[in-house]
Amino acid sequence: MSIISPQPPRTGSTAKKAVAAPAQENAQGMSQPMDPMNSWAMWRRGADWPTVVWITVVHASALAAPFYFSWQGFTAFVLLYIATGMFGICMGYHRLLTHGSFQTYRPIRWLLAFLGGLSGEGSALTWVANHRKHHKFSDKAGDPHSPRHGKWWAHIFWFMPNLGQKWRKEVLERYAPDMMKDRVMVWLDRMFLPSQFAMGAVLYAIGYYGTALGMGGENAVYYGCSMFFWGLALRMVYVMHVTWLINSATHLWGYRNYETTDDSKNLWWVALLSFGEGWHNNHHAYQRVAAQGHKWWELDTTNWAILAMEKLGLAWNVVRVRDIPDGTRPA
């Protein structure tokens, strides 16, 4: 079992066949020609307007949250931050689906992918494919979001240029063939936007009708807006930026436990915000290891949750640091 390989994990029925890589890849790992990252040649094709509008609307909506504060809305913010951030993105999208750091039942895989989608960062298909590409070309020409191409590019702008549907299709086929074979994952990709609207409606309804939770009544509209703006918009913006800090900040600042071939670093404050994901140099060194905190004081709550699932029989084949073969060089 490879500890450092960023290639798609092969489990269950998805392991039967692999989609062949393009016959000839360019320096960025794609057969489709691609302009240099964050270059004028790339931007002159225009912006990916659906994505730009989505990000703009979510951020603008988050600005309304302070005007509709309630403790119920704040509680929704915290609970959904944990559900979509730790379980959806960190455990589901990243450690399970991208790297195969552990195995679990298919319904749990689908649930974690659904929660990851509610983060607003895109479907599991696109997130996983882009992240695997990031690992293959980390801080090289093919890296989708290296700070070497600009700090703000790495943080927020890298997914905004219009690269075309052919490029998206090839990225998915090249870097997420296992995901493409899972009909539920494909369905979740199609349901990305509808699920956001449904979530917003549910949160508003809870605030509007939630008399048992101290909401509703004469202030029903206020509480509905509070649940929507805190539980959906502000929470989504917060989770997005915490995730994006891993793309930007942890390739710029921090310390290194391992001499990897990229700029990845461990940054304690990002690790605290991101449930352990900020120990990024550890992760880049040995990508399939479930624990990203490798020192006793490097707290990793996502790994604690994985180990708890293992104790309950909900996770198995958890890749540990001790599974790294002696003499294995960091990636």
Residues whose CB is less than 8 angstroms from the CB of residue 252 and which lie 6 or more positions away in sequence, other chains included? 147, 151, 263, 265
For residue 91, pLDDT over 70 is answered with: yes
Render pLDDT for 251-263 as a digit per residue (tens, 0 to 9).
999 999 999 999 9
pLDDT tens sequence across 123-136: 999 999 999 999 99
Residue range 272-310, pLDDT digits in tens? 999 999 999 999 999 999 999 999 999 999 999 999 999
Mean pLDDT of all residues in 58-84: 98
Long-range contacts of 268-274 (CB under 8 A, 24+ apart): 270/242, 270/245, 270/246, 271/298, 271/299, 271/300, 272/299, 273/242, 273/245, 274/85, 274/90, 274/242, 274/243, 274/245, 274/246
pLDDT in the model for residue 326:
83
Q: How far from chain centre, in Å, is Cα 50? A: 19
The whole-chain average pLDDT of the chain stands at 91
Alpha helices in the chain (DSSP H): 40-43, 49-62, 71-80, 106-117, 124-136, 151-152, 165-175, 177-180, 183-190, 192-209, 220-228, 235-248, 268-273, 280-285, 301-311
- Residue 230's pLDDT band, with cuts at 50, 70 and 90, is very high
What is the pLDDT averaged over residues 33-43?
84
- Position 28 scores a pLDDT of 64
| Higher-scoring residue by pLDDT: 3, 225 | 225
Quote the pTM value: 0.91
Which pLDDT value is given to residue 34?
72
* Spatial contact of 285 and 257, defined as CB atoms under 8 Å apart: yes
pLDDT over threshold 50, residue 15: no
